[in-house]
Structure formats: structure tokens, C-alpha cells
Amino acid sequence: MENFTPYSSLIGGIILGIAATLLLMAGRIAGISGILSNLIPPQSNDALWRILFIAGLIVGAAAYPLFGGDMSFLNINPYQLSDNAHYALLVVAGLLVGAGTYVGAGCTSGHGICGLGRLSLRSLTAVMIFMAVAVVTVFIMRTVVGG
């Protein structure tokens, strides 16, 4: 478990929780799929906070190494993600994630962070399904595919 980072994970979780709570108090939900899908096309008076939220995600990720964050996990060849991953598969996977987000009426962050925080039964169901599929996927990848 060389990537076990309990302190930074705890701090990140607290920051996410505070941000989701502040947005919820302002009548907003911090699910990125909802924020992005309602930005295109923009609503007349609703676009600014959505643009600032997305900009904050980008700026925060870019600033992470400036504050001593370890980015060594990104040491990959961008043209070949692994021996078995091809761009066509990545495109199909991305489309499936987008379709699942649409069908599930939200993304993992929206349901997992915000929906569970609001005690939403729909979000609890979605998160249980996300986790079950993740467990099955890891099992298949490790035992059947051998990844």
C-alpha cells in the first residue's frame, strides 16, 4: 500500500464536505455533471457560479504541486496508458460514463458527496450500485483479464 495517504485524504474529504455544504446552503448541488450540463447552453443568470466552480477545479488541480503535492502518479506515457488500453476503448468507456451519468441522473460526486449528505434514497441506491459494479470490475480485471 505505497499510495496510502490517510492525512491528505482526510483533509481533502473535509474540504469537499465544506464546499458541498456551502453550495447546498446557497441552494446549489456540487455534482459536476449537473453543473456542466446546465452550463451548456448557459442559463441567463446561472452561468457565473458554474464557470467559477469549473475554473476552481482546474486551478486547484494545477496549483496542487505548487503546495508540495506529489504528482509522481502522473508519470505515464500519454500515448499509451497501458499495454492493453487503446484509445478506442477509452472513448467507448467515456461514452458509457456519460450515458450512465445521464441515466443515473447524476455522477459519482453528485450522488456520493452531495446526495448522501442530503440523505437521498436515490443517491444511496446509486452509490451502492457504483460500488458493487466497481468491486465486480476489479475482480474481473484481476482474476479474468489478469490486469
In terms of residue numbers, what domain contains 124? 6-145
The reply to whether 136 falls in a domain is yes
The reply to whether 25 falls in a domain is yes
Domains of the chain: total: 1
Question: In sequence order, which residues have a C-beta less than 8 Å from that of residue 113 and are 6 or more positions away?
Answer: 16, 17, 20, 30, 31
**Whole-structure pTM value:** 0.62
87's enclosing H/E stretch is helix 87-103
Model confidence pLDDT, tens digit, residues 2-17:
667 788 888 888 988 8
The reply to whether 1 falls in a domain is no
The reply to whether 137 falls in a domain is yes
Q: Is 54 exposed, middle or buried (0-12, 13-18, 19+ CB in 10 A)?
A: middle
Model confidence pLDDT, tens digit, residues 76-130:
444 455 555 666 777 788 888 888 888 888 888 788 888 888 888 999 999 999 8
